Structure 1
């Protein structure tokens, strides 16, 4: 039985998650990179997501306010056809897979989600949307693995999927993201 008290704050974000089949496809394509770059801090496949809005550190009490309004938003928005495609890196530290498909719709959904969160009285810093799925991060003493691994994703094209559900995700530093229940 877990007796850890619930945290008073969480790092919260709103995201879309690819279905298992799309994640499995990408994981299979990454097998050579997993073996070739073992020092990278690879994200767990079950944590893969596309962030629409990073809300930052929020009181745990804000979460129940967001869940129903985000569920209504997802239900009222047409499903986007998205896929994983290619890859690259940010600042030699973060390896990512790109997003393909209805990118205009993705940008509109992100704008709608951000406006909806603000309408709930929750303020957060605005980061530009750079649609991607984070795969791995480098260690501080390794500035070469991420740029060397990125070209291996260049030819990857995954299957399309309907992105129908918004996920409200919370993370504790060091423990990684997970769905908020």
Structure 2
């Protein structure tokens, strides 16, 4: 199974962002991007990649332990940015320190820390392939889309749960399903 660990924003928060991002799809080059489905929007804490089914129970025990050691915290989806010419994302505000500590704890517990890139809390809105990005206006086109999100501040919500997620790819957009979830302390 292809797995990752995430915090999933509530429907209210994703609807706020979907409403704010809808006009971006009308901007020049937006039709050349692969837009992510709001139903699958999440904040990735750790990407695990392919994992044998037999390893899942051990992962679940570690994630339950991490969740029991961390408190829920307020977040909101806000603003936007890009990763070069390839990714358009929405940012996160609120108790981002708590979210970073949670991501660090998950990564350490599961042995998947990414020292090269570090944890950058974001929600991916759209992706471009190497040539698609240039055709979509390159970094300038994506930056214009990100700039259009500068004033966006969604409703505040409580990040109160981590979830082990399964990613299924193939034809069409990726599909995400919850394998298991654990509440954070209140």
TM-score (ref. length: structure 1): 0.83
Q: 1:158 aligns with which of 154, 161, 166?
A: 154
Tell me the residue number matched to 2:177.
179
Is the aligned partner of 1:114 residue 2:114? no
Maintained 8 Å contact 1:169/1:177 = no
CA RMSD of aligned residues (A): 1.9
Partner of residue 38, structure 2: 45
**What is the alpha-carbon distance in structure 2 between the residues aligned to residue 66 and residue 74 of structure 1?**
12
Structure 1 unmatched runs, 5+: 1-9, 119-123
Deviation at 1:13, TM superposition (A): 1.2
Question: Does the 8 Å contact 2:104/2:113 carry over to 1?
Answer: no
Q: Does 2:118 correspond to 1:128?
A: yes
Residue 166 of structure 1: CA displacement? 0.5
Partner residue, 1:140: 130
Q: Distance in 2 between matches of 1:178 and 1:71?
A: 20
Could you tell me which of 77, 84, 87 is aligned with 1:91?
A: 84
Pair 135,20 (structure 1): closer, same or farther in 2 beyond 3 Å: same
Counterpart-to-counterpart distance in 2, 1:125 and 1:14: 12
* Cα distance in 2 between the residues matched to 1:179 and 1:65: 19
Paired residue secondary structure (1:141):
helix
Q: Distance in 1 between matches of 2:169 and 2:118?
A: 22
Q: Which residue of 2 aligns with 1:18?
A: 9
1:33 to 15, 24, 28: 24
Q: Distance in 1 between matches of 2:156 and 2:23?
A: 23
Question: Which 5+ residue runs of structure 2 have no aligned equivalent?
Answer: 180-186
1:84/1:158 contact within 8 Å kept? yes
How far, CA to CA, are the matches of 2:165 and 2:50 in structure 1? Answer: 12
SS in 1 for 2:152: coil
Instruction: Give the alignment's TM-score, normalised by structure 2.
Output: 0.81
SS of the counterpart of 2:161?
Answer: coil
- For the pair 1:104 / 2:115, whether they are aligned, the reply is no
